[in-house]
Structure formats: C-alpha cells, structure tokens
Structure 1
C-alpha cells in the first residue's frame, strides 16, 4: 500500500512539472506570473502593504518578492509611496 502511494505521488510530481513547463512555454511576453497575480489579488483584497509584509503573506523571501514588485512597477500595475506612519517604509 505504501509503495503504491509513493509511486502515485511520484507520478503526480512528474505530471505537475510537465504542466508547469508547458504553461510557461505558452505564456506570452505580457502575461503575469502566478506570483505577480497573487500579489495583485492580495493588494486588491487587503490594501497597501510593504514588500516584507507581502513576502510573509505569500511565504516568499523578501528578495524574491522584491523582484515580483519591480516587475509589477515596471508594468505600471503598482507603485510605492511613503508610509504615512513610518517614513522608513514604502
């Protein structure tokens, strides 16, 4: 029984990897990544947030979230503004 479960899990991982690769190949230049979409949805739902807050909420490293934010800023989808309560935050 455990062997069958392990084999099934391995098969699912293989199919999942192939699906991810196929979706990346099909994506156009202007398409958003899943991380970018998740950030936009979170900002829509919860309102303004810092990069660190978004990273925690999405279980990402702050550096990785920074890359997502830069791409969204470059596309004109988000912008940074000084935090009215803490000038060190954007």
Structure 2
C-alpha cells in the first residue's frame, strides 16, 4: 500500500470519527447527556441490569469510565446501582423509568444521526457498512481477547 492511499484512508477515518462524535455530542446535549453516556443507556435498555464490570466490557471502555458515567447518570435519576447479590463489592446497574424514557429519546436521535450520516450513500453500500466497520474495528482492536 502506498503512503498516499494510506494517508487518505487514515485521514478519512479520523475525520469521520471526530465529526460523528461532535455531531452526536450536539444532539445529546439538549438531553443532558455527554458522548458515551448514551451508549451506556442503550446497552442497559438492550440487555437489562448488569454488573458494572460487564457493562465496561460491553461498552469497550475501562471500568473507571463506567463508574464515572454511572455516578452522573445515577445522580440525574436515569439509573440505579445496587450491590450485586453474589458479590457485595460489585454493583448491578439498571435503568429507572426516567432512564428508559431517555433511552427511547436517544434511539430517536440515533436513527436521525444514522440517516444524516448515510445521506447520499446507496442503500446497498449502507447495508454493508455495519459488518465492514466491525471488521475494521476488530483489525485495530488492541484490547486483550475476552474469554468466551
């Protein structure tokens, strides 16, 4: 691969990532959310209550980041934390009624952001993008492999 192509590809991915995050932040701000918090809400909405460590793994981020997000979302009344029945050192996180309502609003924003992002992209190409992007992500993932 020559440098010109590599540079164009890497720059395009970098700019997409930056612009997408900025656009997401702008859409989430009126809901009182910061980027990353929506992913936590959506994960809990998708899976139900889970231990913070499992949530960190599911989100692909470090446990201290999840701890900070859960504290903020808990103080806003969107989630609740309770000691895990099997391990009092671990916390189980779950959505509150307001958290479920907020997750529903986030889903609407996420659909709008996806439509905005894919504007002008042929339907066939758009259909292939999730799998392609998962492959690209796996190719650059430096996290240790999880035990299955």
Is the TM value for this pair above 0.5? yes
Contact 2:52 2:66 (C-alpha < 8 Å) held by counterparts: yes
Higher RCO (CA-CA < 8 Å; seq separation 6+): 2
Segments of structure 1 that go 5 or more residues without pairing to the other structure are none
Please report how far the alpha carbon of residue 14 of structure 1 lies from its aligned counterpart in structure 2 after TM superposition: 5.2
Question: 2-side partners of 1:25 and 1:43: how far apart?
Answer: 20
Q: Would the alpha carbon gap of residues 12 and 31 (structure 1) be closer, same or farther in structure 2, given more than 3 Å must change?
A: farther
Unaligned runs of 5+ in 2: 92-148
Structure 1 runs of 4+ aligned residues shifted over 4 Å read none
- 2-structure distance, mates of 1:78, 1:24: 21
Structure 2-normalised TM-score? 0.49
Coordinate RMSD, CA, aligned: 2.5
Per-residue CA deviation, residues 37-62 of structure 1 (Å, 9 max, x unaligned), is: 11111111111112211111112111
Q: What is the aligned length?
A: 90
